[in-house]
Amino acid sequence: MSSPRLVILNCVSEEDWRSFKALPRFVQPLEHSKDPCRQCPGWCCQADVRTTAVEAVRIALTVGVPILHFVDVVPAAASSDSVMDWPIIPVADGEFRLRMSKVNGWCTWLHRTGERGTCAVHGQRPGPCRLYPFDMTIGERHVVVGSQKLCPVAWVKTEAMETRVHEDLKKYDLDLAAECALIDAWKVQGKGGMENFLAFAILREGLRMGFDMEELGSPPRKTLGRRFW
């Protein structure tokens, strides 16, 4: 049985968009684009973006930057989330979640050149960044990620876009499942504070992702002399 088709709700269809383009310019609705990101300096990079430890490990090991250089540890009680499941990390001194760090109000990974902005870890960016800013259904499931308010122009929905977002959502669901498995394993085997948890996550997830942890952990390859966590 095939999986249910994902449908993005908050975008004008390509068919409607083409009919708008046929209208005189002065009566067309607000400008639309099939690629609004190309016209944007990275406004969505001002949003608070949660991340799983699994995603943080992937970024840290791919780029070679310690997790705590680009992630904030947020008390679970102060990190409400109504968009998607965001697992709680239990450690010795409390319950926490992880969030991408910001510098002067912008994501630490945003690279700006003049008026342009691009993500320095675009291929490894967290699931909420991949799925922003869509309101979508897949079967009976309804997922909302952000809004189009920060986008410079409105999105035009295409079949290719829905296919890509469907794949991104499946990848994020796999990361969430891996995060839950990681936390369950930590509850059984781990002990200590957040740094202990991150060390546990780096080793467990690094091995699962296929990184050579023996090589990465040996001097002088420790992230310019620093631990990955």
Question: Which residues form the domain of 184?
Answer: 6-22+31-209
For 189-202, the pLDDT digits (tens) are 989 999 999 999 99
Distance CA 28, CA 119 (A): 32
pLDDT digits (tens, 9 = 90+) for 74-103: 998 875 554 456 889 999 999 999 999 999
The reply to whether 145 falls in a domain is yes
Q: Give the global pTM.
A: 0.86
Residue 45: inside a domain: yes
Handedness of CA 6, 9, 10, 14 (dihedral sign): positive
Structural domain includes residue 218: no
Q: Which residues of 65-75 are buried (b: 16+ CB within 10 A; e: fewer)?
A: bbbbebbbbbe
pLDDT for 220: 47
Q: What pLDDT band is residue 227 in, cutting at 50, 70 and 90?
A: confident
Report pLDDT for 228: 74
**Is residue 37 classed as helix, strand or coil in its secondary structure?**
helix
Is 221 domain-assigned? no
Q: Does 43 reside within a domain?
A: yes
Task: Give pLDDT, residue 36.
Answer: 87
* 124-149 tens-digit pLDDT: 999 999 999 999 999 899 999 988 88
Q: Is residue 13 part of a domain?
A: yes
Residue 219 resides in a domain: no
Better-predicted residue by pLDDT, 204 or 216: 204
Q: How far is CA 12 from CA 6, 153, 161, in A?
A: 15, 12, 12
Percentage helix, strand, coil for the chain under 3-state DSSP, each rounded to 5: 45, 20, 35
CB 51 within 8 A of CB 60: no
Number of domains the chain is built from? 1
Max CA separation in the chain (angstroms): 66
- Nearest residue to 89 (alpha-carbon basis) of 198, 175, 14, 210: 198
Return phi, psi of residue 193, to 5°. -90, -165
Residue 152: inside a domain, yes or no?
yes
Q: Determine if residue 45 is left, alpha or beta; phi over 0 gives left, psi from -120 to 50 gives alpha, anything else beta.
A: alpha
